[in-house]
Amino acid sequence: MPRTALLVCGILSSLVYAFTDILAALSWEGYHYASQAVSELSAVGAPTRPYVLPSMVAYDLLVIAFGFGVRSSAGASHALRTTGACLIVIGLVGLAAILFPMHLRGAGRTFSDTMHIVLTAVTVLCIVAAIGTSARAFGKTFRLYAIATILILVVFGVLTGLDGPRVGANLPTPFLGITERINIGAYLLWTTVLALLLLGTRAAGRDADTGPAETVIRRG
């Protein structure tokens, strides 16, 4: 697949995730967007599970493709190659997590629920690593943006994590949907920004006839 198409997969992945979340939540009567987790849309027994799962598979495959696109655009940047590798792992872990869905609230915790939590934690660590390494690949503006994104992930990740036990105990979580979606939104936005930045540098390198786009990427 051409490098440009692989990079476009990053933008498409964010769109697929966002629209799946919104449309699934709207189609489930009684689902509370502000207080329920995204994972509940694909939980065992959820009415939205049959069509959320294919969308999530598509999302993970797009992320993997984007990861390869980032690596192929890295040139001499070790940092950007690491970012691409992290994205590939994120997609692979996401596919594995589909095999271990959570159950609806009140159904009790099973091995599948425990594995879902573990794989989610691995995904979060890989996301932070991907954003952190990408901060070294470009200029000051993007570096500050990446750092701000990581801070958002840490703050709202902690808030989301505090509600985790309450989900298993079937207790109220009035702000879980908000804190989790701020986290997810920050990551999806970073994915889109990175894709656009790499597409822009690739186009600039080609248009200027100065060689491959990686010449404008910092060595890291």
Integer Rg of the chain from CA: 18
Rounded-to-integer distance, Cα 6 and Cα 159, Å: 34
Instruction: Average the pLDDT over 30-55 and give the result.
Output: 95
Instruction: Inform me whether the pLDDT recorded for 160 exceeds 70.
Output: yes
HSE-CB of 32 using CA atoms within 13 angstroms:
11
Cα 2 to Cα 5, 59, 70, 215: the distances in Å are 5, 19, 12, 19
Provide the pLDDT for residue 81.
95
pLDDT tens for each residue of 97-140:
999 999 988 777 889 999 999 999 999 999 999 999 999 998 89
Rounded-to-integer distance, Cα 8 and Cα 146, Å: 20
Q: Which two tokens stand for residue 196?
A: 């656009």
Instruction: Inform me whether the pLDDT recorded for 220 exceeds 70.
Output: no
What residue numbers bound the domain in which 135 lies? 3-216
Q: What is the mean pLDDT of the chain?
A: 90
pLDDT tens for each residue of 64-76:
999 999 999 998 8
- Whole-prediction pTM: 0.90
Specify whether the CB–CB gap between 69 and 84 falls below 8 A: yes
| Nearest CA-CA partner of 92 in 117, 61, 114 | 61
Please report, to the nearest 10 degrees, the dihedral formed by the alpha carbons of residues 64, 69, 73, 74 taken in order.
0
Specify whether the CB–CB gap between 75 and 6 falls below 8 A: no
Provide the pLDDT for residue 1.
64
Banded model confidence at residue 214, pLDDT cuts 50, 70, 90: very low
Reported residue count of the chain is 220
What is 172-217 written as a DSSP string?
--TTHHHHHHHHHHHHHHHHHHHHHHHHHHHHHHHHTTSS-GGGGS
Q: Collect all residues with Cβ–Cβ distance below 8 Å to 151 and sequence separation of at least 6.
A: none
What's the number of domains the chain is made of? Answer: 1
Instruction: Inform me whether the pLDDT recorded for 216 exceeds 60.
Output: no
